[in-house]
Structures are given as C-alpha cells and as structure tokens.
Amino acid sequence: MNEKNLCKGCVESVMVTEEVIQELVKEADEDPSVIVSEDVYHARLKMCNSCPALQYGTTCAHSGCIVRYRAKFKNKSCPFAGKPKWDKVS
C-alpha cells in the first residue's frame, strides 16, 4: 500500500474486510426499530460513494466509521463539517 494513503494511528481499525462489514450490517439489522428503511439506506450510501471523504471505499474520513454500518442507523448523520450530506431520521 502507498504510505500516503495511510491514516495515522488508526490504519488497523479503518481497513476492514468485506466479511467484517457484512457481520456489522447483519448485527445492525437485528433491531429494526433503530435502523432506516432500505430506500434511506441506499440514498445515504449513494452520497457516501460519491463523497471525497470516503476512504478505502469503506470508511468515512470525518467519523472513522464504516459507512455501510453507520448509514443503517436512524440516529446517525453525516459528520461532514458544516454541510452534512445526510441527516438523522426521526
């Protein structure tokens, strides 16, 4: 890997396998009361996938979160400073 792409101090935690991501998403899906609809989820991920803050195709540079996990939750919002690209759902 090119060292310029390394995230100082947290490389190990931001680079995760597809298997780990699927486990996280499955875990989130276990409580439907806290997660968004499929439509909202896919709209959020569409924003993330076109966002320059998305690192490694998986991780938000602003929150350090795996976006496919964070975007599942109603109470989460995009942490983009000053101009969130998606909001909480009540």
Distance CA 4, CA 18 (A): 23
Compare residues 23 and 84 and give the one whose CB is closer to ligand SF4: 84
Give the containing element (helix H, strand E) for 53: none
For residue 55, list its beta bridge partners: 59
- Taking CB under 6 A as the criterion, the residue among 21, 40, 85, 89 binding ligand SF4 is 85
* Chosen residue from 15, 41, 74, 80 binding ligand SF4 by CB under 6 A: 80
**Of the candidate residues 48, 58, 66, 73, the single one contacting ligand SF4 (CB under 6 A):** 48
- Amino acid at the residue 70: R
Find the binder of ligand SF4 among 66, 67, 68, 72 (CB under 6 A): 67
Neighbour-count burial of 49, counting CB atoms closer than 10 A to its CB (0-12 exposed, 13-18 middle, 19+ buried): exposed
Query: What residues make contact with ligand SF4 under the rule CB under 6 A?
Result: 47-48, 51, 53-54, 60, 62, 67, 78-80, 85
